[in-house]
Amino acid sequence: MNSDIAPNDAVSLWDLLALRAETSGETVAVIDEFDRRMTFTEVVSMAERVAAGLLARGVEPRSTVSWQLPTRIETIVLSLALSRLGVTQNPIIPLYRAREVGAMIAQCESDWLITLGEFRGFDHGAMAEELRAASGDLLNLMVVSSELPDGDPASLPPAPVGRDEVRWIYTTSGTTSAPKGVCHTDGTLIAGGVALADAIGATADDTGTIFFPYAHIGGPDLLIASLATGMSLVVMEVYAPAAAVELMRRTGVTITGGSTPHYALLLEEQRKNPGNPVVPTLRMVTGGGAPMPESLFRDVLAEMGIPILHAYGMTECPMITSARMDDSVEQLATTSGRPVLGCEIQIRTEDDEVLPTGRVGRIWLRGPMLFKEYRTDGEIIRPFDAEGWMFTGDTGKLEPEGHLVLVGREKDLIIRKGESISPTEIEEVLAAHSAVADVAVIGLPDDRSGERICAVLQLQDGAAALDVDTLRTYCRDAGISPAKFPEDVVIVSEMPKTPTMKIRKQHLRQFVIDQRALSGAADE
């Protein structure tokens, strides 16, 4: 990273923005698909006016604001305006529906929900009204479109300086259906964004992208990398591969990425133009969110001439390891890189014995970008040992030069298109169907999305078989996100179970994979 400021000395996210504006005020900070551009100075000015407008509407410092908005310039400005006010933010991706949004608002004890009207065929405003009614009108509601609240910055109180106070609550899928509130501070997010910029070697000459939901923790992560270096960002509210390539060409993007499916879709666009770089200025692809197939890395390198710098992170710690430009091709293709700036990793046994290089075990971490606590059902949970280490829920090993190789997950999660999805949540919905006697939701390998959601059903005696369309309609009516709808259905006569009657999911998953392999071979 090449930075002309000291980002880790910033006392808040707002302070970091102010430092960048003082240093690079006339540099373009953000560009969107409509070629709207804002400099860092213009971002500060607009964010201050929006903060004043929010204050005038009743959004008070130290309140909690949930917001569900797409990846737009206005969303970035809103998040900075909320930071200027010293508000605790709960970003929610637009895919979530009433069941999930209601649970998140309840978990965060939010005072406000800021949302938009209709977006991609769904009326978020109507959903928000239902949620407000369900709260007994205790939830304040603000519906915005392209126009954000506006006010006089002279009305604002002094900017907050609490770097270590909880200012961000992200909700993440756990092994239970209820979302957990993952609490971050401006300090933890700044450490993560600076570590990202350092790992990929970002400079003021770079132009990066946010082509995924800004409400993901990766959104502010990239914003902070931009503020730390002076790098410009290009945003796109709905990712479409061909349009994204054209936008990157038009704006001279040098760094892009997201999750593993983004890599594959970019490669598909390149294959439409073999021999000619689809984005001539592009020097690397970065991202994480799901394991990267070695073959995908090698195909991108061979056909596009650029590396993938794959990273490993989680909502609790957005940057854990990352590949770097000075890694060998073999290291880039087969590992998740080395620990990022400030992050430490240990591999331990189940009895917490630290293992040597090359041994597979549980991945533990600690560092300045690690979250502070969980909030769940009114309780504060700090899952750290006495020395500040946390178990990630994943298993892996360290290579001699410090590179991490991921081996598997101990947590029962499905990672689809970079999203961590709780099977338990879907199982609870499907178990309520009158035709279902027992259910297990598993993830099946998929080249495009990482994993597909498969519902394995044991039906009630005499019940008619259920197909995918029926289940998807049922899930839609239950109010869960389309991203969690089953994509496959398998009917079994009996679930494989342990002596304590727990479903053997790994056994079931392998059974389904083997059956599909046999079916595919028979069709050839």
Confidence of residue 4 (pLDDT cuts 50, 70, 90): confident
Same domain, 288 and 369: yes
Within-domain flag for 212: yes
Is residue 137 one of the residues assigned to a domain? yes
Residues 264-276: what's their mean pLDDT?
93
**Which of these, 62, 118, 68, lies nearest to 88 by C-alpha position?**
62
Query: For 372, what's the count of Cα atoms within 13 Å in the CB-facing half-sphere?
Result: 16
- In terms of domains, do 334 and 438 share one? no
> b/e per residue, 297-316, with b = 16+ CB within 10 A?
bebbbeebebbbbbbbbbbb
User: Residue 409 domain-assigned?
Assistant: no
Q: Note down the domain range covering 381.
A: 8-151+158-404
| Mean pLDDT, rounded, for 392-407 | 95
Q: Are residues 224 and 358 in the same domain?
A: yes
Do the domain assignments include residue 2? Answer: no
pLDDT at residue 277, rounded to an integer: 96
pTM of the model: 0.88
Which of 376, 404, 432 corresponds to the end of one domain?
A: 404
* 117 and 211 together in one domain: yes
User: Would the pLDDT of 177 be above 90?
Assistant: no
Comparing CA positions, the residue from 43, 109, 134 lying closest to residue 479 is 134
Binned at pLDDT 50, 70 and 90, residue 334 comes out as very high
With respect to residue 3, please indicate whether it lies within any of the assigned structural domains.
no
| pLDDT of 7 above 60 | yes
| 241 and 302 inside one domain | yes
Q: Which residue has the higher pLDDT, 24 or 422?
A: 24
Q: Are residues 399 and 487 in the same domain?
A: no
**Domains: count for the chain:** 2
Which of 384, 404, 424 is where one domain is finished?
A: 404
The predicted pLDDT at position 464 comes to 93
Domain assignment present for residue 97? The answer is: yes
Task: Summarize pLDDT for 131-174 with one digit per residue, the tens.
Answer: 999 999 899 999 998 789 999 999 999 999 889 999 999 998 65
The mean pLDDT value of the chain amounts to 94
Mean pLDDT value of segment 291-304: 92
d(CA 277, CA 285): 13
Q: What is the CATH number of the domain that holds 437?
A: 3.30.300.30
Same domain for 117 and 34: yes
Q: What is the DSSP string of 198-248?
A: HHHT--TT-EEEE-S-TTSTHHHHHHHHHHHHT-EEEE-SS--HHHHHHHH
Give pLDDT, residue 188: 98
Q: What CA–CA distance (Å, rounded) separates 272 from 306?
A: 17
Rounded average pLDDT over 482-497: 94
Same domain, 473 and 363: no
- Judge if 444 and 388 occupy the same domain: no
Cα 326 to chain centroid, rounded: 26
Do residue 339 and residue 435 come from a single domain?
no
What pLDDT, on the 0 to 100 scale, is given for residue 270? 97
- Shared-domain flag, residues 445 and 379: no
**Which CATH number goes with the domain that contains 339?**
3.40.50.12780
Same-domain status, 333 and 362: yes
Q: Give mean pLDDT, residues 379-393.
A: 96
Of 365, 381, 404, the last residue of a domain is 404
Which range is least confidently modeled, 8-22, 61-75, 493-507? 493-507
